[in-house]
Amino acid sequence: MTAYHVLIVKGFQSTAGLQSTLSKAGILIMSGLAITIGLRAGLFNIGAQGQVLSGALAFTYVGYRLHGLPIWVHLPVALVVGAAFGAFVGGFAGFLKATRGVHEVISTIMLNSIMAGIVDYLTQNQFRLQGQPNTRTPEILHSARLPHIFGYPSGFLIAVFLAFFVSWVLKKTTTGFEFESVGRNRNAAWYAGISVKKTIILGMLVSGAIAGFTGAIFSSETTGYFVPAFYSGIGFDGITVALLGRANPKALIPGAIFIGGMRSAQSAIQFEAGVAPDIINLLLALVLFFATAPFLAKLLKSNAKSITTTSGWGS
């Protein structure tokens, strides 16, 4: 039981804890957004992890390689590059799906491993900072660092803003309508004049871009240098957040804060309560299981926008 106590204290009550929680929450919101926007278009982008890694590494590289630029140029440029790489990976999967009918669940999981391998290689070789005991890249310049607001990481604010923005796009723009339509009924969308192929590719591009952006923000906000292991779990926690929020952008926020808190307290748990940190993984998995389980689904079934991704293997 002390473990739970630790969770709450370390997660939310201390200032340091709160900062850490919000920081993690911001990352999770964005990761969840990446997946959510894909889900809205009927795409299950499990490959967020690989896209996050790509974006993070790309960002870090631009972060430490471009010298002599003021922050208001350097930071946005680097962030965009990060997003672009994520988009590239995601878009590739989208392209495969639109043209060859390759189901994105399999292709993105494969891409996760592929990107992990590539990123690993680059970190150990071309991008490596020599003379360090661990394998890492050089640190990014100050001009690529995300500023703090009153000591709190601004990543969280960006994330919340992004969540509202995505929600607005889905409801009030033509692109959003296209996503929603293709996600619910491809035939009718086609009949309505929407290009299903383009929407699928765009969906994966955007999803990947947000994921890449997430990785970039993480790098900018926290360590500032890239070690692959730092990013483990962002992609998958993002899936949990998205499913908990039932693919609704604004509903991601509470879930992300909750999970962020748990993750913040994760290392503390081992020291203070003697429980293996992996319990968090298990706890989260159980939370996800019960949250998406049917009794809740039945309650909400009549009106809820139920999430479906099984459009089958072929196109």
Report if residue 309 touches another protein, rule: CB under 8 A: yes
For another protein, which is the closer residue by CB, 45 or 143?
45
Single residue of 23, 51, 54, 107 touching another protein by CB under 8 A: 107
Single residue of 2, 113, 132, 267 touching another protein by CB under 8 A: 113
Give the number of other CB atoms < 10 A from CB of residue 293. 10
Alpha carbons 123 and 60: distance in angstroms, whole number? 11
Are 166 and 99 spatial neighbours (Cβ–Cβ below 8 Å)? no
Alpha carbons 176 and 199: distance in angstroms, whole number? 10
Residue span binding another protein (CB under 8 A) among the ranges 24-32, 143-151, 176-184, 208-216: 176-184
Site for another protein in 126-165 (CB under 8 A): none
Residue span binding another protein (CB under 8 A) among the ranges 10-18, 72-80, 252-260, 271-279: 271-279
Tell the burial category of 290 from Cβ atoms under 10 Å away from its Cβ (0-12, 13-18, 19+).
Answer: exposed
Minimal distance, residue 262 CB to another protein, in Å = 12
Q: What DSSP designation does 140 have?
A: P
For another protein, which is the closer residue by CB, 151 or 274?
274
164: Cβ contacts below 8 Å, ≥ 6 apart: 249, 250
Minimal distance, residue 99 CB to another protein, in Å = 8
Report if residue 196 touches another protein, rule: CB under 8 A: no
Report if residue 184 touches another protein, rule: CB under 8 A: yes
Are 168 and 39 spatial neighbours (Cβ–Cβ below 8 Å)? no
Phi-psi domain of 144 (left: phi exceeds 0; alpha: psi -120 through 50; beta: other): alpha
Residue span binding another protein (CB under 8 A) among the ranges 120-128, 137-145, 203-211, 215-223: 120-128
Single residue of 173, 198, 267, 271 touching another protein by CB under 8 A: 173
For another protein, which is the closer residue by CB, 67 or 100?
100
Minimal distance, residue 95 CB to another protein, in Å = 10
Are 241 and 252 spatial neighbours (Cβ–Cβ below 8 Å)? yes
For another protein, which is the closer residue by CB, 154 or 181?
181
Q: Sign of dihedral through CA atoms 162, 165, 171, 176?
A: negative
For another protein, which is the closer residue by CB, 40 or 74?
40
Single residue of 12, 152, 177, 230 touching another protein by CB under 8 A: 177
Structure tokens, 262: 């748990």
Burial 156-192 (b: 16+ CB within 10 A, else e): bebbbebbeebbebbeeeeebbbbbbbbeebeebeee
For another protein, which is the closer residue by CB, 212 or 238?
238
For another protein, which is the closer residue by CB, 74 or 97?
97
Amino acid in the structure at residue 202: L
Backbone angles phi, psi at 148, to 5 degrees: -95, 150
For another protein, which is the closer residue by CB, 165 or 191?
191
Single residue of 9, 69, 77, 110 touching another protein by CB under 8 A: 110
